[in-house]
Amino acid sequence: MSTDNDIIRRSRDSPAVFGELYDRHASVIYRYAARRAGDFAADDVTSETFLVVWEQLETYDLDREDARPWLFGIATNLLRRHHRAEAKILKTAAKAASREAVADDSDRIAARVDAVVATGRIARTLKAMAAIDRETLLLYAWADLTYEGIALAMDVPLGTVRSRLNRARRTLRTQLNLEILDETENDHERLAAAPRNA
């Protein structure tokens, strides 16, 4: 099976080959965009992403086998045009969990956080978060990119990805009352990014 860079190399000479890249990745780009901004935006973002990719084909670093960070980077930029749709989705999700339900969340153990309430809180937190932090977090959780992948996608150093993710996850965990389980360091505004599940 050919790798992404093979496809890209060959499609520089033959547009028909470019379709393979679409076939391989369009559904994950669509899904990512739809989760963030809904189907209408996803349709738009997916076609636009591949058009931009086509236009920028010469700029692709052929040493990279996996084109997903590049594709998600472009899709992320394009999604910024749909920030209203995204905000609307998050607002609706936030409303789904009532404040009464949240107030009942007295248990400090993370395992018992009610999923519905959590969704509402997550939505509210994502909405309030700086766009770059939200994008970093969602590229990690929804697009399944690695730290390195996110660094490529957002064109920032690895350390920046790490600190943005730390910040975003810390905010999220605070909102979810997961602070006991986690390793909160509020003294110097940072947090070790360690997986919770041993």
**Interacting positions 135-154 with another protein (CB under 8 A):** 137, 140-142
Rounded to a whole number of angstroms, the CA Rg of the chain reads: 19
Would you count residue 35 as binding another protein (CB under 8 A)? yes
Segment near another protein (CB under 8 A), from 2-10, 28-36, 61-69, 145-153? Answer: 28-36
**Interacting positions 37-56 with another protein (CB under 8 A):** 39, 42-43, 46-47, 50-52, 54-56
Q: At what angle do helices 147-154 and 68-79 cross, to 10 degrees?
A: 50
Chosen residue from 3, 23, 65, 148 binding another protein by CB under 8 A? 23
DSSP 162: H
- Nearest approach, Cβ of residue 95 and another protein (Å): 14
* CB neighbours of residue 174 within 10 Å: 15
- Compare residues 10 and 113 and give the one whose CB is closer to another protein: 113
Cα separation, 193 vs 42, in Å, equals 30
Closest CA to 57 of 5, 132, 20, 97: 5
Please list the alpha-helical segments (H only) found in the chain: 4-11, 15-55, 68-79, 83-96, 99-103, 115-128, 131-141, 147-154, 158-175
- Compare residues 1 and 16 and give the one whose CB is closer to another protein: 16
Interface map 92-111 toward another protein (x if CB under 8 A):
-x--------xx-xxxxxxx
- Compare residues 1 and 103 and give the one whose CB is closer to another protein: 103
Would you count residue 70 as binding another protein (CB under 8 A)? no
- Nearest approach, Cβ of residue 53 and another protein (Å): 10
- Compare residues 6 and 179 and give the one whose CB is closer to another protein: 179
**Interacting positions 119-138 with another protein (CB under 8 A):** 119, 122-124, 127-128, 130-132, 137
Please tell me the number of Cα atoms within 13 Å of 147 on its side-chain side. 11
Residue with tokens 């990512």: 32
Could you give the 3-state DSSP secondary structure of residue 95?
Answer: helix
